[in-house]
Structure 1
Amino acid sequence: MRAWIAFVPLICCLTVSAAEGAKPSAQLTLELADGVHTWTTAQLLALPQAQNIQIPEDVSYKRAMTYRAIPMAVLLNGVNPEEHLQAVATDGFAAEMPAGPLLANEKNGSRAWLAIEQPNKPWPSLGKDQNTAGPFYLVWTHPKAGNISPEQWPYAMVKVRLLASVAERFPVMRPDPALGANDPVNQGFAIFQKSCMACHRLNGAGDSQLGPDLNQPHSPTEYFAGDYLRTYIRDPQSLRQWPQAKMPAIPASVLSDGDLDLVIGYLKHMAQRRDVAK
């Protein structure tokens, strides 16, 4: 779960800015049903829908932020709400997201925006690596109205692509097909896609390059005794400490105890289905 820590290294097309100290202009790629679209920073900022937005509680910066941004619905014109999208960042983070919330435009409802880092006005550093959340960052106004999780705030984003569902693309991740759609294991699979898959693979399947596989060669449900897996998810540094650790603490405000139980139930189930990947 990368949550508020960034996305397969990709080549981001750059053009050098003439302004001294300015960041290079970047390129965002959209792979949609009608083809591949590329937008430079300058082109995005020139769109008439570009505006300043206020984010009172930014997930990555942990404070109020102001961004020059465009509604994601503008860039995703022609995408259907029932379709599936993936947002990819420069560090291997790949966020799986249903299209519906990204297209929503209800008053006082959650609304997705593409925040654009202006070359002459770079955003603050996110930490010791001195990188910012740019060049492009998916942010939300009124996120609580749509139950938007931190994994749905991908930063350092360089690509958005229309894909088949996770179950279709990666059948080795699917629970036993004999289970009903409302079975707790399938509920856990749905939460896994939203909260874990941006960083982790399972049974060798998935697009993220950031975190370890959660079923090969072993499931964490097999080597964490008792409640230590829950403890690790809630506060990784309480069990393992190292300077380059990237997994953040996942509090109950982000993943409820009930949802955490469902995810662990899914992982326990998949520990018995390792052979499906062979």
Structure 2
Amino acid sequence: MSSLLRRLCLLILCLAPPLQAADLSIDLGHGTRTYSTAQLLARQDVRTISIPVDVAYKRSMRYRAVPLKALLSGAAPDDALLFVANDGFAAEIPARLLLKAHGAEAWLAIEEPEHPWPALADDKPGAGPFYLVWTDPQAMRIGPEQWPFQLASIRRLAPVAERFPALNPDPSVRPDSAVARGFAVFQRTCLACHTLNGQGDARLGPDLNIPHSATEYLREDLLRAYIRDPQSLRRWPQARMPGFDRDALSNADLDALLAYLRHMAAHKVQH
């Protein structure tokens, strides 16, 4: 980009009107509550927090934020909460992680209209208007898929096994098996972007079983490499899939996930 073009872009940004305030809706089964940007920024518990390694921006960031658990009155530890973004991303996070008194702490970062957050990339918008960020995420092994940004709503869900029966392993699978463990890993790491057998809330990535499972057309070593670092297999700058390093997905969890995907490749459900 030439220096003249950079100056023009900066001038356009300076002359552009400030961002409009946004609304976040939260439905925990007792009616929907709606919070505006102004309401959240005016709360007594709003703080300025620092995130040393921000998942979305890949660098240190500072945000105005409120403790998320303060907005989740009525949620129970066994609840599953769905965080839906404006771009179709849908992250399901156990409420127990969000309600814990110790360990990693979840914060709702709020984009101030007068101080918009930077773009995520040259051709992408920023992470606003709302973004779930974590302090001390290592304490509870919070993965990158549990940092949803561009948030529009949060709602309580029935368990995945009830909502999406086509995701369930065969009833003969033992609860202590690698396949059952892999199903839990799939829910934590994959369901935020993908469907399987046509079922799931997200529409950001392709279905992982229909018409073919990746376990059917990729060698296992290549599939493992792809999950660890998608760009190592296909160079695609616009790709949305993050890599899962060993902090986000242990070798044992990766083994279990592949066991589940292989199992489900033999249990396709066409809709």
TM above 0.5, yes or no, is yes
- Give 1:25 shift: 0.4
Specify which of 80, 83, 94 is matched with residue 84 of structure 1: 80
The answer to whether 1:232 aligns with 2:226 is yes
- Give 1:103 shift: 1.1
In 2, the alpha carbon distance for the partners of 1:231 and 1:151 equals 18
Aligned to 2:21: 25
DSSP 3-state at the match of 1:227: helix
Specify which of 75, 93, 114 is matched with residue 97 of structure 1: 93
The answer to whether 1:72 aligns with 2:81 is no
The answer to whether 1:273 aligns with 2:264 is no
Answer whether contact 2:65 2:109 (CA < 8 A) is retained.
yes
In the superposition, the TM-score normalised over structure 1's length comes to: 0.89
Higher gyration radius (CA): 2
Aligned to 1:162: 156
CA distance 1:158–1:175, shift in 2 (3 Å): same
CA distance 1:135–1:160, shift in 2 (3 Å): same
Higher mean C-alpha displacement, 231-240 vs 84-93: 231-240
Report the RMSD for the aligned CA atoms in angstroms.
1.5
In 2, the alpha carbon distance for the partners of 1:83 and 1:235 equals 31
Aligned to 2:239: 245
DSSP 3-state at the match of 1:267: helix
In 2, the alpha carbon distance for the partners of 1:251 and 1:83 equals 27
Aligned to 2:57: 61
Deviations 1:216-267 (A, max 9, x none): 0010000112421112212222222334322232222321222111111100
In 2, the alpha carbon distance for the partners of 1:154 and 1:61 equals 12
The answer to whether 1:39 aligns with 2:40 is no
Aligned to 2:177: 183
Aligned-pair identity (%): 54
Answer whether contact 1:21 1:120 (CA < 8 A) is retained.
no
More RCO (CA 8 Å, sep 6+): 1
DSSP 3-state at the match of 1:77: coil
Specify which of 113, 126, 131 is matched with residue 137 of structure 1: 131
**Number of residues paired by the alignment?**
257
In 2, the alpha carbon distance for the partners of 1:249 and 1:35 equals 37
Answer whether contact 2:141 2:248 (CA < 8 A) is retained.
no
Specify which of 203, 206, 212 is matched with residue 212 of structure 1: 206
Aligned to 2:11: none
The answer to whether 1:221 aligns with 2:215 is yes
Q: Which amino acid aligns with 2:197?
A: N
- Give 1:73 shift: 0.9
- Give 1:20 shift: 6.0
CA distance 1:226–1:76, shift in 2 (3 Å): closer
Answer whether contact 2:141 2:247 (CA < 8 A) is retained.
no
- Give 1:131 shift: 0.8
Q: Which amino acid aligns with 2:161?
A: A
Specify which of 188, 194, 206 is matched with residue 194 of structure 1: 188
Q: Which amino acid aligns with 1:77?
A: S
